[in-house]
Chains A and B, each alone.
Chain A
């Protein structure tokens, strides 16, 4: 299994500012995933972060808005840039374990005013 921690757990931010969310895993993993869950909606994959290469973004998400770093096999950051109220969501970090298993972090609850 994998234990994932995220910082911060929640934040309230002003529009136009940026927030960086950290994700730490207790074991080395090749791929880390960042999801967004808007209020009342299902989870949506933002991007896949591989160590040593550029993140792969899903349709509708761009690097300028959601830059991702993956400096090593246990850590990643997601930045939400130039925030607007529409960015208010829960952001979740996730990793795959053994065959088909998947683990999720505790989430970062973001409110943009």
Chain B
């Protein structure tokens, strides 16, 4: 079993829909990251969470430390949101650089 699991693996939505991507992890963490990867391969950090909830524009990220679960929500989705969304955690006691990554959720938003 992977230490970081994301669901769904693939998601197709119509423009304007509310989208939720889930991430569950099985290790103790100091932080959780939500990342966005576009087709060219580059990765942009969207959020870094250690507790609670963060909002940036149409994106909302929440984390429940007790349940070891995080969600990324996109409101009023748009075709430009189409990308792979990756959840990554920094493990307590892990090597300083090492994030543990989920396999990603591929989102496609149709106009």
**A and B physically associate:** yes
Q: How many A-B residue pairs have CB under 8 A?
A: 63
Contact of B103 among A31, A41, A104, A108 (CB under 8 A): A41
Contacting pair B42 A42 (CB below 8 A): no
Contacting pair B50 A100 (CB below 8 A): yes
A45-B95, A92-B43 known, 14 other contacts, Cβ within 8 Å: A40-B103, A42-B2, A42-B101, A43-B99, A43-B101, A90-B41, A92-B41, A100-B90, A103-B45, A104-B44, A104-B45, A106-B40, A106-B41, A107-B42
Q: Does B98 contact A (CB under 8 A)?
A: yes
Contacting pair B102 A101 (CB below 8 A): no
Tier of interface size on chain A: 20 to 34
Contact of B98 among A40, A45, A90, A106 (CB under 8 A): A45
Which of chain A's residues have a CB closer than 8 A to the CB of B35? 104
Going nearest first, the 4 A-B pairs with the smallest beta carbon separation are A107-B41, A106-B42, A104-B43, A42-B101
The chain A residue sitting closest to B94, CB to CB, is A45
Q: Does A14 contact B (CB under 8 A)?
A: no
Q: Does B86 contact A (CB under 8 A)?
A: yes
Which of chain B's residues have a CB closer than 8 A to the CB of A43? 86, 88, 99, 101
Q: Does B30 contact A (CB under 8 A)?
A: yes
Residues of B within 8 A of A (CB): 2, 4, 30-31, 33, 35, 40-45, 48, 50, 86, 88, 90, 95-99, 101-104
Q: Is the interface of A mostly helix, strand, loop or mixed?
A: strand
Which of chain B's residues have a CB closer than 8 A to the CB of A33? 97
Most chain-A CB neighbours within 10 Å: which of B30, B88, B97, B101?
A: B97
A99 to chain B minimum Cβ distance, whole angstroms, is 8
Q: Does A82 contact B (CB under 8 A)?
A: no
In the complex, which residues 29-78 of chain A have their Cβ closer than 8 Å to any Cβ of chain B? 31, 33, 37, 40-45, 48, 56, 58
B76 to chain A minimum Cβ distance, whole angstroms, is 26
B14 to chain A minimum Cβ distance, whole angstroms, is 26
